[in-house]
């Protein structure tokens, strides 16, 4: 018997909350056929950012990776507003933006936090294509933003 997405996350001490509210004129997720696209998700928990600032100056890599985990959890919660997470057959792509200083090159290490979450949540369906990009700043001063594309039944 296989465990559910929520129970696998809970076993890893990763809780899935209610879908986050949009902080602008958009929706958190859209389903188009068998694909679900999430909007970029910030590391918000209970309405507050886990950290603010620039990675490599204000936020260290470990804290930023934990922020990326929360972003991925928020992306899954957003996806759950338009699909049943148990119907996910593949994580197609994960995109992570890291607000980072000039010369900072560890964006992949930060975004690994988000990749771990989807691997835990979806097991064999979790490996995905990925982008880990450095940017000057992100909304609300967040250090990380993550979006995902899921394929569903």
Q: Per the domain annotation, does 20 fall within a domain?
A: no
Number of domains in the chain: 1
Domain CATH for 111: 3.30.1330.40
Q: CA–CA separation, 35 vs 124, rounded Å?
A: 18
Residue 91: strand pairing partners: 150
22 falls within a domain:
no
pTM given for the model: 0.96
In a domain, 25, yes or no: no
Q: Are 67 and 51 in contact (CB under 8 A)?
A: yes
Query: What's the pLDDT score for residue 2?
Result: 62
Residue (of 50, 48, 92) closest to 69 by Cα position: 50
Report residue 87's pLDDT band, with 50, 70 and 90 as the boundaries: very high
User: Can you point out the beta strands (E) in 10-143?
Assistant: 29-32, 35-38, 44-45, 48-49, 88-99, 129-135
pLDDT for 1 equals: 38
Structural domain includes residue 126: yes
Residue 130 maps to a domain: yes
Report pLDDT for 21. Answer: 83
The answer to the question of residue 78 being in a domain is yes
Q: What are phi and psi of 108, to 5 degrees?
A: -60, -35
- For residue 144, pLDDT over 70 is answered with yes
Residue 146 near residue 93 (C-beta atoms within 8 A): no
* Averaged pLDDT of the chain: 96
Is 26 inside a domain boundary? no
List, in sequence order, every residue forming a beta bridge with 37; answer none if it has no partner: 30, 149
Q: How far is CA 16 from the centre of its chain?
A: 11
Give me the domain span that covers residue 89. 5-15+32-152
Work out the angle at residue 4's Cα, subtended by the Cα atoms of residues 92 and 41, and round it to the nearest 5 degrees: 45
Question: What does the pLDDT look like over 88-143, one tens digit per residue?
Answer: 999 999 999 999 999 999 999 999 999 999 999 999 999 999 999 999 999 999 99
Q: pLDDT tens across 17-65, in order? A: 888 788 789 999 999 999 999 999 999 999 999 999 999 999 999 999 9
Output the six-digit token pair for 8: 């696998």
- Judge whether 23 lies within some domain: no
């Amino acid at each position: 018997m296989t465990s559910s997405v929520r129970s696998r996350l809970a076993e890893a001490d990763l809780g899935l909350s209610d879908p986050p509210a949009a902080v602008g004129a958009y929706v958190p997720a859209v389903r188009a056929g068998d694909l679900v696209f999430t909007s970029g998700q910030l590391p918000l928990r209970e309405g507050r950012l886990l950290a603010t600032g620039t990675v490599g100056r204000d936020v260290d890599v470990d804290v930023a990776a934990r922020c990326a985990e929360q972003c991925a959890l928020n992306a899954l919660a957003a996806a759950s507003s338009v699909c049943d997470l148990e119907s996910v057959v593949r994580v197609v792509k994960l995109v992570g933006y890291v607000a980072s200083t000039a010369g900072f090159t560890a964006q992949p290490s930060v975004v690994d936090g988000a990749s771990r979450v989807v691997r835990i949540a979806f097991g064999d369906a979790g490996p995905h294509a990925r982008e880990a990009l450095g940017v000057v700043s992100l909304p609300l001063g967040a250090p990380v933003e993550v979006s995902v594309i899921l394929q569903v039944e």
